[in-house]
Each structure stands twice: as C-alpha cells, then as structure tokens.
Amino acid sequence: MDIMKKTRVINSDISRVISTMGHFDTIGIGDAGMPVPAGTEKIDLALEAGIPSFMQVLENVLSELEVQKVYLAEEMKTKNPDQLAAVKKVIGDTPIEFIPHEEMKKDLSDTKAFIRTGEETPFSNILLESGVVF
C-alpha cells in the first residue's frame, strides 16, 4: 500500500523510495558536495553545475511525499539565507528543525536515500520526515 505517495515523480528510483517510506522515515535532498555515507542509497541526478537545482528537486519530491517535518542545517540561516527563504516558501507551515551541518551528515546514515542535485550553493541540504495522509 502506497500511503505516502501523492502523484507526480517520474524518476523511478525516487518514486520507489517514496513508496517504501513509512511514518517518521526520512529522505535527504542536497547539493552536489554533500558526502553520502557508504550504506545510504544515493540517487544521483546531478548533470552539471546547477542542473537540476536543489529547489526543482525539492518541489518535485514534495509533490509526492507527505512531509510532517523538515531538518535544515543551522548554517543555512547565515550562509544561504536566500535558499532558506525559498525552502520556507515551498514547505508552508511544515515545522523546521535546525541542526548543525555535521549532525545532518551523520543523520544521512539513517535515511532511506539521498538525492544528489547539481546545486552548488552552500548548505543546500534538507531531510524530509514523512507523515501520513490520513
């Protein structure tokens, strides 16, 4: 039963991961430089600098995944405030927890997958915690 999926993702790996997510599971999306732990599935979408962008991928995943909370690096507040504003705009009222970037890198070990984009702006990384649609 695909209780987490909504509709629009056509990338087969991303769609598969979303369909297997349960309540409180996480998936990461991030910039081209984020180190991904060896045991974490990496879905590499990066084609070249900036393609696809972090925001393009985030918006696509949000169209399909029910998200109850997001995690962002504390450093995004000062090192990439424009990206933070863009994230806040697309997530609406979804709660944000800010964590140190080092902690986020460690938390990738517990995610279902990490989606690598072509983004090259600092701290453009997010963890999405799945909710339920009922």
Q: Which residues are catalytic?
A: 23
DSSP string, 48-82: BTTBS-HHHHHHHHHTTB-EEEEEEETTHHHH-HH
Cite the annotated binding site by residue number: 31, 101, 123-125
Instruction: Give the H/E segment covering residue 83.
Output: helix 81-91
Tokens (6 digits) for 95: 């709660």
Cite the annotated binding site for substrate by residue number: 31, 101, 123-125
